[in-house]
Structures are given as structure tokens and as C-alpha cells.
Amino acid sequence: MADDIDRANDQAQYLLDVALHRSRRVPSTRVSAQFCEDCDDPIPSLRQQKIEGCETCVPCQELREARR
Ligand SMILES: [Zn+2]
């Protein structure tokens, strides 16, 4: 379970890195939200550090990805 989450996070980070390299207009450092944009729950600081520019908590991120 934890491994699956780590793998998903690594993949998200990889896709983010690719996106950042493709668009030079995006600042190299993005500030992560402290509270989830969708449900206003506090985002764990580890997640904020690990996922640069994250906007949502883990469950809401999964919901966003499921909606795509
Ligand atoms: Zn949330």
C-alpha cells in the first residue's frame, strides 16, 4: 500500500519535472499549499516538501486524477 503511494508520488513528480522543463515560463520553485484547495484540510508538511506546488491533500488529488 505504502509502496503504491510512493510510486504514484514518484510518477507525479516525474511528470511535474517534465512539464517544468518543457515550459520555461513556470518558475523553478513552486510553493505548496498548506491547506487543500478542495476540502481545506491541512496538507502534511512532508507532502508539501515532497510534491513541489501541490494544491490538494492525497484523497482530493486522487479524486482529481480519477476525474481526468
Ligand atoms: Zn482535500
Give the pLDDT of residue 11.
86
The string of pLDDT tens digits covering residues 48-62 is: 999 989 999 999 999
Q: Is 1 exposed, middle or buried (0-12, 13-18, 19+ CB in 10 A)?
A: exposed
Give percent of the chain with pLDDT exceeding 70. 85
- Listed in sequence order, the residues at least 6 apart from 47 whose beta carbon sits closer than 8 Å to its beta carbon are 32, 54, 57, 58
Mean pLDDT in residue range 18-37: 76
> How far, in Å, is the centroid of ligand 1 from the Cα of 63?
9
> How far, in Å, is the centroid of ligand 1 from the Cα of 23?
27
Mean pLDDT in residue range 5-28: 75
Residue written as cell 510553493? 31
Helix (H) or strand (E) holding 43: none
> How far, in Å, is the centroid of ligand 1 from the Cα of 49?
17
Nearest-angstrom CA–CA distance, 15 and 1: 21
> How far, in Å, is the centroid of ligand 1 from the Cα of 29?
22
DSSP assignment letter at 42:
B
